[in-house]
Structure 1
Amino acid sequence: MQQEIQALERNGTWSLVPLPPGKVPIGCKWVYKLKYKADDTLERYKARLVVNGFTQQVGIDYEETFSPVVKIVTVRLVLAIASMKNWPLYHMDVDNAFLQGDL
């Protein structure tokens, strides 16, 4: 949890501000997950702070949404092309990947 908070602070993705009068804060919770290596041994513990977005209201709490999620069809297409062209494939895990660049 501490690493997640430090990453959020380091990337400047949030700041603590006073709540406007008459507004109710949107709740959040910690989600925990275990990451395993290929041989099923424990690699690390992961913690993520997520907002209870189901309480948000359009036009009040947000104007638009965007979630950079790739479709499985796209992944399969890229893998197929890489296979046909004999391109090398690499895998990496990036902490807070969505914070690392402009979309």
Structure 2
Amino acid sequence: MALPNASLWKKAMDDEIKSIHDNNTWILVDLPPNTKPIGCKWVLRKKLNTYGSIDKYKARLAAKGFSQKKGLDYFETFSPVTRFASIRIMFAIASIYNLEVHQMDVKTTFLNGELDEEIYIH
């Protein structure tokens, strides 16, 4: 935070915390005894515009899920990704039927699934 653009990174972090708060993603509580929290860290990234200059500073608070043990800390994993071939097929269909394809930028996304477990992060 000693860099000249520290205020821009701070604003990006504040925006992420506000988004987490606004979406009721988690609540701040005291750690119960005999509970091991998952660590987290900030992932900072500069987003560039089409001309290659900085468009915005983006910050994400990421849980260090690699510290969890399958069958103990979690039981299932999901990876919502799209194959590049699926995107190409979508564009091909849109081209064949003369459809318009719109792109949008989602500032914050959250999975719709509900957790059955209580997860604590540090």
TM > 0.5 fold call = yes
CA–CA distance in 1 between the matches of 2:19 and 2:63?
16
Q: What root-mean-square deviation, in Å, do the aligned CA atoms of Structure 1 and Structure 2 show?
A: 1.6
Correspondent of 1:83 among 95, 109, 114: 95
Question: What residue number does 2:21 align with?
Answer: 9
Structure 2 stretches of 5 or more lacking a match? Answer: 1-12, 114-122
Higher mean Cα deviation, 14-23 or 79-88? Answer: 14-23
Letter in 1 for 2:63: V
In the alignment of these two chains, the number of paired residues is 101
Classify 1:46/1:67 alpha carbon distance in 2 versus 1 (closer, same or farther; 3 Å): same
Classify 1:62/1:20 alpha carbon distance in 2 versus 1 (closer, same or farther; 3 Å): farther
Question: What residue number does 2:54 align with?
Answer: 42
**Normalized against structure 1, the TM-score is what?**
0.86
**Normalized against structure 2, the TM-score is what?**
0.74
Equivalences for residues 51-66 of structure 1 within 5 A = 51-66=63-78
1:53-90 Cα offsets, whole Å, 9 max, x none, are 11001233223222221111111111111111111121
Identity of aligned residues (%): 47
Higher mean Cα deviation, 29-38 or 58-67? Answer: 58-67
> Comparing both chains, which one has the higher relative contact order based on Cα–Cα distances under 8 Å and sequence gaps of 6 or more?
2
Classify 1:26/1:62 alpha carbon distance in 2 versus 1 (closer, same or farther; 3 Å): same
Letter in 1 for 2:37: P
